[in-house]
């Protein structure tokens, strides 16, 4: 992932085995020769296990995850002006992936994860659109589907140390995420003021200009994914000393 999200290495950092962690979660010792390789493999396994969440650790499912809203703005003040508000988005596919590389900088307290999905990432939800292409109005209300092929992401978790009961815990303060996809497919189905011609115009415009649409969507998607990953990671990190998550 240059993404991301959920996600991933955050929770995945539960690559340690401790009394209050699932015994299936692999431990990676910091001084081991293949530490980063171990982290990569262990995190991939943990993410798959967390598809349905973990009730003991109070971790919610990675599939699906939800985003309340995202806004897309295209070409404000030009002949092509379009605003689309997405709401109640449900995202499927984040757990079906592979950690390509992972690194924990214990001195800086930074976790870096590169992640790729093995199947398309799908986002579905409600939308409202307002705008026009030249003289063609693109106003609409309905259901939207966004599909990301070959989804990849890079996530950096910037943390701080928190001492509790004489033990060190990590807390994620900030996430930096970048996402990439080989193709973005967009489909919008109007449910109000239905006009098939206008619906086709919107879908045609968005899919012909998917690269530009993606660039405009990236900041909002990255921000939401970052929030998801941060909260997910902190749910784990607040319960488990980091020496158990990544033993010395």
pLDDT per position as a tens digit, 72-106? 887 655 545 788 999 999 999 998 989 999 999 99
pLDDT value at position 138? Answer: 75
pLDDT value at position 171? Answer: 96
Closest among 172, 180, 245 to 4, alpha carbons compared? 180
Tokens 């002949």 appear where? 79
In terms of Cβ atoms closer than 10 Å to its own Cβ (0-12, 13-18, 19+), residue 182 is exposed
Is residue 26 over pLDDT 70? yes
Is residue 166 over pLDDT 60? yes
CB distance 128 to 84 below 8 Å = yes
Is residue 107 over pLDDT 80? yes
Indicate the Cα dihedral angle 234, 23, 35, 239, nearest 10°.
20
pLDDT value at position 176? Answer: 95
pLDDT value at position 216? Answer: 86
More confident call, 60 vs 23: 60
Is residue 11 over pLDDT 70? no
Mean pLDDT of the chain: 84
pLDDT value at position 16? Answer: 40
- Which range, 48-57, 128-137, 146-155, 186-195, is most confident? 146-155
pLDDT value at position 20? Answer: 65
Give per-residue pLDDT as tens, 169-223: 999 999 999 999 999 999 988 876 555 555 577 788 889 989 988 888 888 889 8
State how far the alpha carbon of 222 is from the alpha carbons of 22, 93, 227, in Å: 30, 16, 9
pLDDT value at position 180? Answer: 94
pLDDT above 70: percentage of residues in the chain: 84
Secondary structure of the chain: what % helix, strand, coil (to 5)?
A: 25, 40, 30
Angle between helices 196-208 and 210-237 (to 10 degrees): 80
C-alpha 23: how far from chain center: 26
Helix (H/G/I), strand (E/B), else coil: 226: helix
List helix spans (H) across the chain: 8-12, 35-49, 196-208, 210-237, 242-245
CATH number of 8-245: 3.15.10.30
Indicate the Cα dihedral angle 154, 159, 164, 167, nearest 10°.
70
CB distance 5 to 229 below 8 Å = yes
pLDDT value at position 213? Answer: 86
Is residue 1 over pLDDT 90? no
Is residue 64 over pLDDT 80? yes
Residues 221, 3: Cα–Cα separation, whole Å: 9
């Amino acid at each position: 992932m240059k993404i991301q999200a959920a996600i991933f290495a955050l929770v995945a950092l539960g690559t340690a085995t401790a009394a209050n962690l699932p015994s299936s979660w692999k431990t990676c010792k910091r001084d081991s020769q293949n530490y980063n390789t171990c982290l990569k493999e262990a995190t991939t396994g943990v993410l798959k296990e967390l598809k349905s969440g973990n009730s003991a650790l109070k971790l919610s499912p990675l599939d699906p995850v939800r985003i309340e809203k995202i806004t897309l703005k295209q070409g404000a003040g030009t002949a092509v002006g379009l605003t689309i508000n997405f709401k109640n988005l449900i995202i499927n596919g984040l757990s079906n992936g592979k950690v390509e590389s992972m690194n924990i900088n214990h001195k800086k307290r930074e976790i870096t994860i590169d992640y790729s999905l093995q199947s398309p990432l799908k986002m579905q939800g409600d939308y409202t659109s307002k705008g026009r292409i030249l003289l063609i109005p693109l106003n609409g209300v309905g259901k939207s589907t966004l599909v990301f092929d070959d989804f990849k992401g890079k996530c950096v978790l910037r943390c701080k140390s928190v001492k509790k009961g004489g033990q060190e815990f990590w807390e994620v303060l900030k996430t930096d995420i970048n996402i990439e996809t080989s193709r973005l497919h967009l489909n919008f189905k109007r449910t109000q003021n239905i006009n098939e011609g206008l619906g086709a115009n919107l879908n045609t415009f968005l899919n012909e200009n998917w690269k530009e649409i993606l660039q405009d969507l990236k900041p909002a998607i990255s921000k939401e994914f970052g929030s998801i990953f941060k909260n997910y990671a902190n749910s784990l990190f607040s319960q488990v000393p980091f020496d158990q998550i990544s033993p010395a």
